[in-house]
Structure 1
Amino acid sequence: MIMQSNSIEVRVDGPVATVTINRQQKRNALTRAMIEDLRVALSDVHQERRVRVMVLTGAGAAFCAGRDVEEMAAGGPDPAADMVRWGEEAEQLRDLVLEMLQLPKPIIAAVNGPAVGAGAGLVLAADIAIASPEATFGFPEPRLGVVAGVESPLLAFRLGAGPASRLLLSSQQIPADEALRIGVYHETVDTPLLWARAVELAKECAAGAPESVQLTKRLLLETVGEQLVTQLSSGAIATATARTTEAAQQGLEAFLEKREPEWP
């Protein structure tokens, strides 16, 4: 049975399942509960035999604004408990990315608006990415005092070390046409036609023999991406470690207070 939640919606049309991130009032920023719901949706798509391809998109004007900063910044009275939580959050995002990469069915990201931070990571974890002209892409983490640890090896895997360094160190959000040029997006499509084009591509994937498509996807991960699983785990450790710093506290607080950070 295909799951539904308040912020993750799943629709099945023949061989195509569309998973929509729907938290429009927060630009589809991901909470821990939403990440877990995405993982459940992936599991359901995996088990649903009639589904051959998955389309991932966002509701409204954004694809995904990354992790929910309010949730990230929330702390409790026990610093040790906070450190445990930070580690769990990093591992949870790593596991979501791994499950997307390891899903034996192709994933097509239909990027309808800004995809930043963890949202950009979801784009990179998909097998094919198409975008609307409004689909900016980037990693603002350094300006928040944190690290895009899980996303960094995935970005280097998809684009190479040079483009990854530029995007990660500058915190630039690049427009859709530049993201297309460097290979983040495979094509751009006018917004009203985006989902239809994603479904068209999904049906092209579904026309292949399921075993052949699944083996091809696994082969790419196990050869070209041979070291990626280990690198994602290292990235999760870096993400959790960065959260323990004064810079992270300052950066997250500054974002919520809508001011420039004062770095220690």
Structure 2
Amino acid sequence: MADILELPQAGTHPIAVQRGEHAHRIVLSSPPANALSVAMMDALMAALAEAAADRDCRVVVIAASGKLFSAGHDLKEITAHRGDPDRGRAFFETTMRRCAELMQAIVRHPRPVIAEIAGLATAAGCQLVASCDLAIASEEAAFCTPGVNIGLFCSTPMVALSRNLSNKHAMEMLLTGETIDARTARDFGLVNRVVPPEYLGTVVGKYVRTIASKSAATVKIGKEAFYRQAEMGLADAYDYAASVMVENMLARDAEEGIGAFLGKRKPEWTHE
């Protein structure tokens, strides 16, 4: 994925997009903090929309340049608006709503989204990791939700954490604000794999190739169904999942895949 294009955006928080075979790699490129300013979130939303519109894109990777994955919201930007006539209320609402839209765009994205974490992910940066479908971390990565330390409980990161971690583990991070290492994050369920830093890109690349080799239509159906059923009661979830299975069975790729399995041959996906 060597072709790097900077997306046009306002402000001084550029991202870069590397387009490779069946993948878009979105890189937060505003070190040292890679803060999720409004401009940064707008750029991420644009990059995600572009990946969704690209029929050749099968997987999205979100990574970062520098030592920090992301320090979360831009506190300097937030503080600058405390002098507004409304003490910043309108800007704070815009920031939080845009962040919520970004996290939901990742969950609702038609392609699997993988977080590639080489450094520290804090607050909304940790929320970004938790919102991705998969997360691969370097042994040097670390995670925290430190809002409680500065009088600002990490309530929006809590939404993503509580849907990935056990309640006890999520509350431990939220109440203490302490930093956990990558292996603890794996034990908590925040990341899938922890690898030596020199192998991070290689391992993420393997996940990309593995997922990209599947039927894109099937993966899209499965990702959407996973998150929708998770919000339902047991009986409703089974009713919904059964209906999804029926529609999936009628898809061309399911017919091809089952036929290939029975015929002991490699399937030829149409991605339909």
1:20 has 2:27 as partner: yes
Q: Deviations over 1:206-259 (max 9, x none)?
A: 1111111011110111011459xxxxxxxxxxxxxxxxxxxxxxxxxxxxxxxx
Q: 1:37 aligns with which of 43, 47, 51?
A: 43
The answer (yes or no) to whether the contact 1:136–1:174 under 8 Å persists in 2 is yes
Deviating above 4 A after TM superposition, structure 1's stretches of 4 or more consecutive aligned residues are none
Bigger shift: residues 118-127 or 68-77:
68-77
How far apart in 2 are the matches of 1:17 and 1:82? Answer: 35
Q: Deviations over 1:54-78 (max 9, x none)?
A: 1111102111111111112112544
1:195 has 2:201 as partner: yes
TM-score relative to the length of structure 1: 0.81
Give percent identity, aligned residues only: 26
Q: How many residue pairs end up in the alignment?
A: 226
Q: Deviations over 1:10-69 (max 9, x none)?
A: 011110110000111x32122110011000000001001111001111102111111111
- Pairwise mapping of residues 201-212 of structure 1 onto structure 2 (< 5 A)? 201-212=207-218
Greater Rg over alpha carbons, structure: 2
Counterpart of 1:104? 110
Summarize the Cα distance change of 1:226–1:154 in structure 2 as closer, same or farther, 3 Å threshold: farther
Name which structure has the greater RCO, CA cutoff 8 Å, separation 6+: 1
Counterpart of 2:239? none
Instruction: Give the deviation of 1:3 after TM superposition.
Output: 3.4
- Pairwise mapping of residues 99-178 of structure 1 onto structure 2 (< 5 A)? 99-178=105-184
How far apart in 1 are the matches of 2:181 and 2:212? Answer: 30
1:222 has 2:214 as partner: no
Any gaps of 5 or more consecutive residues in structure 2? Answer: 234-272
The answer (yes or no) to whether the contact 1:2–1:41 under 8 Å persists in 2 is no
Instruction: Give the deviation of 1:136 after TM superposition.
Output: 0.5
Bigger shift: residues 146-155 or 171-180:
146-155
SS at match of 2:16: strand
Counterpart of 2:7? 3
User: For the aligned residues, what is the CA RMSD?
Assistant: 1.8
- Pairwise mapping of residues 44-123 of structure 1 onto structure 2 (< 5 A)? 44-75=50-81, 77-80=83-86, 82-123=88-129
SS at match of 1:122: helix
Please tell me the residue identity of whatever aligns with 1:190: P
TM-score relative to the length of structure 2: 0.79
Please tell me the residue identity of whatever aligns with 1:220: F
How far apart in 1 are the matches of 2:145 and 2:232? Answer: 24
